[in-house]
Amino acid sequence: MNLHPEKLRGAETPPAEQQALWARFRNASEEDFFPSWLALLASLTGNVAQGLLVMGDPASGAYSPVAQWSAGATDLTRLADICESVFDQRCGLLADLPPWPAAGGSGAGHYAVAYPVLVDDVLYGVVALEVVAESEAALASVMGQLQWGVSWLELHCRRKHIHDDAASIAGIKSSFDLLAAVVAEKSYADAANLFVTELATRFTCDRVSLGVLNREQIKLQAISHSSQFAKNANLVRAICLAMEEAVLQKSELACPRREGMKALVTRDHDELARQQGGEAVLTVPLYDGGSCRGAITLERPDAIPFLEGDISVCRAIAALIAPILEAKKREDRPLVAKAGDSVRQQAERLFGAGHFGRKLAALVLLGLILFLVFADGDNRVTATAVLEPSVRRSVVSHFNGYIKEAAVRPGDLVKAGALLCTLDDRDLFLERSKLSNQVVQYQQQRQEAMATSDRAKANIVTAQLGQAQAQLQLVQGQLERTSLRAPFDGIVVSGDLSQRIQGTVEQGEVLFELSPLNAYRLILQVDEYRIEDVRPGQKGTLVLPALTGRDFPFEIEKITPLSAQKEGKNYFRVEAALSVVETAMRPGMEGVGKVQVDRRRLAYIWTRDLLDWLRMKVWSWWP
């Protein structure tokens, strides 16, 4: 071996050589950065026999040597163990090394010094040096120099992150701008043409094509800067074949293939590039919901090939744009196609695997339909029902007068002979006194005339006496009728005189209306759509909200052939007689009555109203 460690002790790099190393480091390219850094570190540290720099990707955990340096002979296996230890322990380490075989009996020792490259506590690599040192102070100096040198690597990694983040942000912004432009288009065709044209502009492409996968074949939908294209042209077929090649392999395909890319079949891409004069071609499949929907193919001059960054941005754009284009395509389909797809999707869920709840609901619905089709039920006509009294007696005033007292109001229960109201009788008493005195006077005059045998006068006085007696009987009868009483046991239906005390009443004016509590008739308001099903003699059942929990049977007696409007509908008045009458019933109570017609299928009973309405609508619309 040519290594002589004794020559390393105290050796210093000449200033001219150090300046050259600094210049090389300052002007280093991406590929030359790590070797130039390691050479400069060895020069500044001194007494370095050899060095090794291992870097990698923390996300994947793949690390490999990126630079090495030696003062003469090289044996990097001497640094392998300490590098592995630093990877495990993530801290700086120092280890003894055996002397080189050709080094001779020198007093200086050989040591391995290594330090990790940590950025935000993430391990990016390890740098290891083999040094020749005679004291611990020399080793401490080497470790300090190593720590200082690693800061350059940390700065390089941070700058690379910033550059990558800036590129990612720019790509994301460009993607979202493109996404917003596509979303703004209303139709699928316009959105597809805008997408390929904008993509061609952003990536400096000669042509960008969009294809849709349909039954394992790609059909071209749009070509950038072209509103129309011949579907059978050789170029279109070549582009479709390239898209199918990428879709079959489920991966992005680029031509020419760059170093580091996956080894995939690119025969159709090579053929497309050859037809277009050697252009660079990139195809990215479009996925929506885990299913491939198509692909986009980008073509641009071979002087600007597609790099990994371009592929990443295109992959991100494809992931964002594929669901939007697919949604616009579905929305642009005819209504019949949408309905067919919906039916097909529901059928697959119903008869396919899974969706237990849907299948259970379908079975329940089927059972319900079969039950309605084959089961019988009571076909009844439902109508609003009102209780009316069968007898309504009016209590009227027998003469003109004034109301003195009102004893009852509407809704009060009264017994036969109960006082309802009293009319003022003061004028009648005065009139009776006056007429009584006249009767006495006429009787005395008649006696005097008879005593003098004056027959003519006696006849006249007798006539006057009869007239006065008749008037007296009339007044006496009026006095007896000042107290109005109930003709029978019942309820006061109308007549509230409490606000008319001392008010006048006219002869024959209705003051009260009374109805008995055991005589009612039921009035049903039957819709004109169902009146044909109602016949006299049919039975039914009444339910009153005021008397819940009890049903009252009735029988149809009369159908009035006149209709009345209520709430925009026509109703016929149907009278029925209650079979059972309770004392708790009151006139004016409303409820629901159901008339028993016959027995029909439940499906007919529940759909009759709808079918009748539809028949009328169809008839009115039919020309």
Each residue of 504-533: pLDDT tens digit?
A: 888 888 888 888 877 888 999 999 888 888
309-325 per-position pLDDT tens digit: 788 888 888 888 888 88
Domain-embedded: residue 607: yes
68-80 per-position pLDDT tens digit: 888 776 778 888 8
| 158 and 300 both lie in a single domain | no
Is the pLDDT at 281 greater than 70? The verdict is yes
Confidence of residue 10 (pLDDT cuts 50, 70, 90): very low
| 401 and 507 both lie in a single domain | yes
Is the pLDDT at 235 greater than 50? The verdict is yes
Q: The domain spanning residue 576 has which CATH number?
A: 2.40.30.170
Domain containing 304 equals: 185-332
Q: The domain spanning residue 401 has which CATH number?
A: 2.40.50.100
Is the pLDDT at 541 greater than 90? The verdict is yes
Domain-embedded: residue 122: yes
Are 82 and 115 a contacting pair, CB within 8 Å? no
| 327 and 215 both lie in a single domain | yes
The full DSSP string for 131-178 is EEESSHHHHHHHHHHHHHHHHHHHHHHHHHHHHHHHHHHHHHHHHHHH
| 34 and 102 both lie in a single domain | yes
Tell me the whole-structure pTM to 2 decimals: 0.46
pLDDT of residue 6: 40
Is the pLDDT at 8 greater than 60? The verdict is no
* Residue bearing the bigger pLDDT, 356 or 168: 356
pLDDT of residue 259: 66
Are 209 and 223 a contacting pair, CB within 8 Å? yes
Is the pLDDT at 409 greater than 50? The verdict is yes
| 326 and 437 both lie in a single domain | no
How far apart (Å, rounded) are the C-alpha atoms in residues 616 and 230? 54
| 192 and 278 both lie in a single domain | yes
Domain-embedded: residue 16: yes
pLDDT of residue 101: 63
| 532 and 559 both lie in a single domain | yes
Q: How many helices (H) and strands (E) does the chain have?
A: 13, 24
Domain-embedded: residue 170: no
User: What is the mean predicted confidence (pLDDT) over 134-158?
Assistant: 83
| 123 and 220 both lie in a single domain | no
Instruction: Examine the fold and report which residue of 305, 332, 359 is the final residue of a domain before the chain moves on.
Output: 332
User: What is the mean predicted confidence (pLDDT) over 354-361?
Assistant: 84
Domain-embedded: residue 489: yes
| Number of domains within the chain | 5
Domain-embedded: residue 140: yes
In 501-544 the beta strands, taken as DSSP E runs, fall at 504-505, 510-515, 520-527, 539-543
* Residue bearing the bigger pLDDT, 14 or 255: 255
| 506 and 560 both lie in a single domain | no
| 147 and 19 both lie in a single domain | yes
Domain-embedded: residue 168: no
90-105 per-position pLDDT tens digit: 888 888 888 776 555 4
pLDDT of residue 231: 67
User: What is the mean predicted confidence (pLDDT) over 57-77?
Assistant: 80
Is the pLDDT at 351 greater than 60? The verdict is yes
User: What is the mean predicted confidence (pLDDT) over 325-329?
Assistant: 87
Domain-embedded: residue 359: no
